[in-house]
């Protein structure tokens, strides 16, 4: 019998390969070559499954990502980690979740919380290292938008190139600030 974690892994595989329409009990059961009864043994409903799937995504793609980024020593290092990890962690999954969020209020709730958490992290990191709160928020918002834009653009297939491009832009933005603000 399959475990709950195997169903969630299959949900991510389906999301990555087929998009959010592939995340249904029937399609997942076919993918795993089992009956839908196994699905309902672990999850009360599709909503229960979606919540479990998105909670796992939120943990992996936000909590762990931000913990890694926070290990950076300088602002440039923290922001570079913030962008590299996001680019490296299967950006197609994020694209699919964003598309799904436009169709499903439950998914939108998770997406909004993830975006809010990530942006709050970027703002707090920048405010701790940049004197002017307006400049700190500007740089943080720019980094956050680079994260989303890089995933949505063709750069998602070249995480190193995307990260370097974003880092160069952030460095130039920071260098344009008054030296006392760095």
- 59 and 29 in one domain? no
**Tens of pLDDT, residues 51-75:** 999 999 999 888 888 999 999 998 8
Residues 96, 168, single domain; the answer is: yes
Whether residue 93 contacts residue 65, with contact meaning beta carbons closer than 8 Å, is answered with no
The span from the CA of 125 to the CA of 112, in Å, is 20
Range of the domain at 93: 54-177
Examine residue 97 and state whether it is found in any structural domain, yes or no: yes
The pLDDT tens digits of the residues spanning 85-114 come to 666 677 788 889 999 999 999 999 999 999
> For the whole model, what pTM was predicted?
0.84
Is 48 among the domain residues?
no
- Lookup: tokens for 145: 């938008």
> How many folded domains does the chain comprise?
2
- Residue 134 contacts residue 128 (beta carbons within 8 Å): no
Report the CATH number at residue 163.
1.10.357
Please check whether residue 91 lies inside any domain of the structure: yes
pLDDT digits (tens, 9 = 90+) for 136-166: 998 899 889 888 887 777 655 565 666 677 6
Residue predicted with more confidence, 73 or 84: 73
- Residue 34 makes CB contacts below 8 A (sequence gap 6+) with 2
Q: Is residue 97 within 8 Å of residue 55, measured between CB atoms?
A: no
């Amino acid at each position: 019998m399959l475990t709950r974690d195997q169903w969630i892994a299959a949900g991510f595989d389906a999301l990555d390969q087929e998009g959010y329409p592939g995340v249904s009990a029937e399609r997942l059961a076919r993918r795993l070559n089992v009956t839908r009864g196994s699905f309902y043994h672990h999850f009360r409903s599709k909503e229960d499954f979606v919540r479990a799937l998105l909670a796992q995504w939120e943990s992996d793609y936000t909590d762990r990502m931000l913990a890694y980024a926070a290990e950076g020593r300088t602002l440039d290092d923290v922001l570079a980690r913030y962008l590299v990890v996001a680019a490296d962690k299967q950006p197609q999954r994020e694209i699919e979740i964003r598309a799904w969020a436009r169709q499903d209020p439950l998914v939108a709730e998770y997406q909004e919380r993830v975006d809010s958490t990530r942006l709050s992290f970027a703002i707090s990191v920048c405010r701790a290292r940049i004197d002017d709160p307006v400049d700190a928020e500007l740089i943080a918002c720019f980094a956050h938008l680079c994260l989303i834009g890089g995933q949505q653009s063709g750069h998602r297939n070249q995480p190193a190139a995307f990260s370097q491009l974003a880092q160069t832009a952030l460095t130039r933005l920071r260098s344009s600030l008054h030296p006392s603000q760095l």
